[in-house]
Structure 1
């Protein structure tokens, strides 16, 4: 028997509006632990359907680095009912969009279609997730595609500097290794290894189905159940199996004061300066979000004004936070001429040090709260974003926090909260990752600046 209910802001049963005011969020748990969540938005003519998998690159051993992402590619390459071409053609024929992504802690496959074509999207994506044949020839062909993706990333220093920074902070640990894997690990992955990874992680208790748009919850549940029953996926598990809960009990290795410099013949030097942040379960994450927005979240932010507007030292500069189950990161990025990298780094350090010692003025924090509030709401103005919130919230927190509740958390942040988290986070010894053409003297200056 299905277990269903309407999900309120605290993740329990009971009627509630969605955070955007579009409609209610409902949740059903099917036998075997498969969760189905929907948010009805009757004012649109589209729907986005996604299946979230409770596995990411941090679940890989060193030898399996890149397996999660490799499998994400391979599941598009054919099932018992459809060839790779038929999978893509099915959505193309109705003007739909289909894609997937892999992160450190989860994977998502999704499709956006007209509301009338939602049953097709459910059938195709469900077929991919439950009935992939993992054809050896397709796996070999896709290996070349993934190696090209790695090469493309390596050619974009503004992108791969973040991988370098993750390695600077976490070392040769699951969080420090790249999601894509490396050329060596991807070349070593065999069909048998990928198949074992697939069987281990792609069972109903590890999956969350999320859909948002002009839809009917009961119809979605029926269609999802039919798609999984067709493949026998639900019958392969114990009917009393419980969904896998959010990640707990992990301990990431974090470094302080490390410097990683990668000498490359690029036109710019790309740097990330940062330190350990807070986990996604830490109540301080709301205050840290406000602090990050004030420091580097927009054109009026401290870093943007000091580095770009006043001194013209960089085109792109920003700050960001990343929250994982057991830890987090706070980072500042800038891309500048190699000759200016020491000056840019000094400004970044000065601004972070000042925020740690003195906090930020109330007017800047008020502006940051307003910016964060507006961007949160505007970021949920399409069905894809709503689907993303449903799936990620269920996997990461096991509940749905309404947008109204989220806005209340942001608005409740006080200057004292921001000062406290600034002292906790920014007063730590930072680490630094830089990619660019650096002289020995510049490298020495960068090491000294972080010491």
Structure 2
């Protein structure tokens, strides 16, 4: 059972008790990410996330690293385009320690200048790491291609110039603006006593003060273009795709099934046709990312440059086929069962349940039950798929981005003209 409460200061708390486990996951979800940054401050949300681990008045950075390790727990954080999450997973008997540690990090971090300068160097090394990972870098290049000039099109980590120029005053101003009660959701899933949970969270998060900031969303205007970034690598890394659906769109489950059938696993059309039948690639898959007011559908593959044309022709062929002919009853049922299985199996993990609570509250203001999700997945029909595919998957609107030793930017237009 999921319980929802709101503290007097506006912090929202969601709890889900799971009696048959010994662990508990606690996540603090802050409603701020890279889309809330100006160009000058690009990467500041991610920078602040790093600084939360660098020490407080009562804990050094080493203390923060050691305290949950000492009891077999796990502590981490991540930044996305629209939110930042700090989370811990521990045995139920150490729940109080996890809450104390997370709240101390979030509200008492020192932002010491030496730590800021040291962590700046760490992030610059992280940027170099991404530059050496073209299979990851290409997804940022693709987002920047389709949403050029919009914050959603910028890398979460920022760039070398912005990271170098961020000051302590910048960091504190941004932190004070967004790390406020109305921007925070605390999600707890696993084994716990709810009275003790509420008592502990009220004593820590209930002390937080500050006024919230309403997020002013400006939806990105998608571009249709091709961007080839030369890099001396063995493979060409390609992303091709189009705008998708926002997370609250009623057709999101139809699109999930389309994505699953096209590139969502080993049995998908793209994997079977391009890798298994033709041997053109090692990796090929698709994904759909959703945000508050927009989405992104992408097909990725890594391959030798002499195979690019053949692989892209097969991708476009499958797109046209699903738009024109829909899907077979057998593959539709398989996709439904795959999504159902993935969802229900994931719920055996308390961290996944906690993440589901936090993200759903931030995006939807409610938590949709697994039964409701399954019901909506199972209700999708072939006509739903054809209708949405005709609307959303128009190859004429596709963008292409690549990283590697290939720069034939005209190839997409040539393939579409021949299709």
Whether the aligned pair in 2 keeps the contact of 1:248 and 1:325 (CA below 8 Å) is no
Alpha-carbon shift at residue 218 of structure 1 (Å)? 2.0
Whether the aligned pair in 2 keeps the contact of 1:157 and 1:270 (CA below 8 Å) is yes
Q: Structure 2: any 5+ residue segments left out of the alignment?
A: none
Alignment of 1:25-424 (within 5 A): 25-228=2-205, 232-233=207-208, 236-237=209-210, 249-256=217-224, 258-424=225-391
Alpha-carbon shift at residue 249 of structure 1 (Å)? 4.9
Alpha-carbon shift at residue 80 of structure 1 (Å)? 1.9
After the TM superposition, which parts of structure 1 deviate over 4 Å for at least 4 consecutive aligned residues? Answer: none
Distance 1:210 1:180, change over 3 A: same
Alpha-carbon shift at residue 429 of structure 1 (Å)? 1.8
Distance 1:354 1:308, change over 3 A: same
Alpha-carbon shift at residue 220 of structure 1 (Å)? 1.1
Distance 1:190 1:248, change over 3 A: closer
Alpha-carbon shift at residue 228 of structure 1 (Å)? 3.0
Alpha-carbon shift at residue 143 of structure 1 (Å)? 0.5
- After superposition, what is the alpha-carbon deviation per residue over 1:319-378, rounded to whole angstroms, capped at 9, x for unaligned? 111111111111111111111111111111111122122222222111111111111111
SS in 2 for 1:64: coil
Q: Structure 1: any 5+ residue segments left out of the alignment?
A: 1-23
Q: Which of 389, 411, 418 pairs up with 1:445?
A: 411
Whether the aligned pair in 1 keeps the contact of 2:35 and 2:81 (CA below 8 Å) is yes
- Alignment coverage as a number of residue pairs: 416
Mapped partners of 2:218, 2:397: distance in 1: 23
Alpha-carbon shift at residue 446 of structure 1 (Å)? 4.3
Mapped partners of 1:54, 1:118: distance in 2: 24
Mapped partners of 2:320, 2:101: distance in 1: 52
- TM-score, normalised with respect to structure 2: 0.96
Mapped partners of 2:40, 2:197: distance in 1: 39
SS in 1 for 2:89: strand
Whether the aligned pair in 2 keeps the contact of 1:303 and 1:317 (CA below 8 Å) is yes
Distance 1:105 1:450, change over 3 A: farther
- TM-score, normalised with respect to structure 1: 0.90
